[in-house]
Amino acid sequence: MTHFAWLVAGSMLVISVRAGMAQTPPAPAPPPAPATSPTRPTPTTQTPQIDCNWLIVDTTAKTATLQLVAGLTGLNGALNFNGFKDGGLTLSVPLNWKVVIAFRNHDGVLPHSAEIIDSVKPMPPGPVDPAIPRAMTVRLQQGLGSEEQDTVRFVANKAGSFLIFCGVPGHALAGMWIRFKVSPVEKRPTLTATASAAGR
C-alpha cells in the first residue's frame, strides 16, 4: 500500500509540475510611453491667438518692432512663427517706416531663421536674396539654435506683399511662413490673423 501511495503522490506531483509548465507566461509589461522633450513645444491644433505685446508701434519715430518667435508652439511640429503657419499671420507697415524684428528661436530641437522674400510661387526650398535689403537674420541656411536671438533692422521702402519665411531648407515648404505687407496708404502698423493658405 505504501508503494501505491508513493506512486499516486508522485503522479500528482508530475501532473502539477506539467500543468504549471503548460501555463502561458504572463504578458510582458507595455513599453513605457516615449518621453517628450521638455524643450520641444507640445503639438497643438488650437487656433493661435495674437499677443498684443508682439507688435510695438512708435508713431513719433515711425518704427514698428515685431517680436518674432520661431517654434512658439507645437503647431505644425513647431514649424511656425508666433504659433502661426502657412501665412496665417500678417504684419502690415506703412511705406518707409523702420522695421525691427526681434527674432528668437524657441524650438528646442530644430534651428530656424527668418527672411523677407518676394511672394513667389513655388515657395523656395531654402534662402534666396531678401526682397528688402538687410531684411534677414544671420545664418539663414543653418538657422539659429534653441533660444538664440538676432535683431533685424531695415526700412520698408518697397510697397507690396511679401513673406517672412524660415530659410532653413525645407522649413518654409512645410508651412513655416507668414505674410508681410508694406502699404503706401496705411498710417499705422498692424498685426492680424489671416486665412491660412497651405500651398498659397
Range 179-198 average pLDDT:
92
**Where along the chain do its domains lie?**
55-193
Rounded CA separation 133/146 (Å): 26
CA distance 116 to 178: 10
Domain 55-193, CATH among 3.30.470.20, 2.60.40.420, 3.40.718.10, 3.20.20.30? 2.60.40.420
Of 51, 146, 150, 53, the residue nearest 100 (C-alpha): 150
Exposure pattern of 76-102 as b/e (b: 16+ CB <10 Å)?
A: bbbbbbbbbbbbbbbbbbbeebbbebb
The residues, ordered by sequence, that sit 6+ positions from 20 with a Cβ below 8 Å of its Cβ are none
Is the previous residue joined to 38 through a cis bond, with omega within 30 degrees of 0?
no
pLDDT at 17 over 50: no
Q: Which region, left, alpha or beta, applies to residue 50 given φ > 0 means left and ψ of -120 to 50 means alpha?
A: beta
What pLDDT is stored for residue 47 in this prediction? Answer: 73
Question: pTM for this one?
Answer: 0.76
Average pLDDT over residues 7-11: 48
Q: What is the pLDDT at residue 37? A: 46
Band of residue 195 on the pLDDT scale cut at 50, 70, 90: confident
Tell me the per-residue pLDDT of 132-141, one tens digit each, with 9 for 90 and over: 999 999 999 9
Residue with cell 522649413: 171
pLDDT digits (tens, 9 = 90+) for 71-127: 999 999 999 999 999 999 999 999 999 999 999 999 999 999 999 999 999 999 999
